[in-house]
């Protein structure tokens, strides 16, 4: 269970920042957990800025929306470095779908944390082939706090850590929902991949 770190008072000069990463498969509640943490920060009257990749328009062009339809305002950005320009003097930075950014997102998150901000990042840790996804491994390595969430396997009912793609598209980035992906356990994922490669 994740225990949120105790925050220093806002007026404290030179406070220490940190990085929290929420990772897992599709339908595991990553965005739901991101929204929960950011909402708590807003309730605590902290200055919060939230970002997502501009390519992710599945639910809304600007808001971050979970599969359970909870939402929070955000700023779409085309490049990770845009976050540095837009974060300003906020206390907390939220970033969703981090796997869609390039490796520079790691430096961006480190820079924000080094300047005293709490940085909360959510993203898929593995792609549709079960391989580490984009910058996520390096974000996990530099984070002070890592939370891995799980879905329920649609085939077995067991815990699911994998995002199985239902169509034959082999591009790493394919935006989609339940029409294109299923959450699967290791066994169901491996069996599905064997059939897919036949």
Q: Catalytic residue positions?
A: 97
Instruction: State both tokens at 116.
Output: 């005293």
CA 130 – CA 126 distance, rounded (Å): 5
Residue pair 32/26 in contact (Cβ under 8 Å)? The answer is no
Closest by CA to 34, choosing from 82, 97, 80, 116, is 97
Instruction: State both tokens at 121.
Output: 């990042």
CA 162 – CA 165 distance, rounded (Å): 10
Q: In this structure, how many other beta carbons lie within 10 angstroms of the beta carbon of residue 43?
A: 8
Q: Which residues contact 160 (CB under 8 A, 6 or more apart)?
A: 25, 27, 28, 150, 151, 152, 153, 154, 183, 184, 185, 188
Distance of CA 11 to the CA centre of its chain: 29
């Amino acid at each position: 269970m994740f225990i949120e770190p105790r925050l220093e008072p806002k007026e404290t000069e030179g406070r220490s920042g940190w990085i929290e990463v929420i990772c897992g498969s599709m339908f595991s509640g990553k965005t739901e957990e991101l929204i929960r943490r950011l909402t708590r920060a807003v309730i605590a009257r902290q200055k919060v800025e939230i970002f997502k990749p501009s390519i992710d328009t599945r639910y809304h062009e600007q808001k971050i929306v979970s599969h359970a339809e909870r939402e929070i305002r955000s700023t779409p950005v085309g490049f990770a470095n845009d976050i540095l320009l837009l974060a300003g003097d906020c206390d907390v930075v939220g970033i969703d779908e981090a796997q869609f950014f390039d490796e520079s997102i790691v430096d961006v998150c480190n820079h924000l944390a080094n300047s005293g901000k709490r940085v909360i990042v959510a993203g898929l840790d593995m792609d549709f082939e079960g391989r580490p996804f984009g910058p996520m491994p390096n974000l996990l390595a530099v984070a002070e706090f890592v939370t891995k969430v799980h879905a329920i396997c649609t085939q077995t009912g067991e815990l699911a850590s994998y995002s199985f793609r239902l169509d034959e598209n082999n591009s790493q980035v394919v935006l989609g929902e339940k029409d294109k992906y299923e959450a699967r356990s290791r066994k169901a994922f491996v069996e599905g991949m064997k059939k897919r490669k036949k």
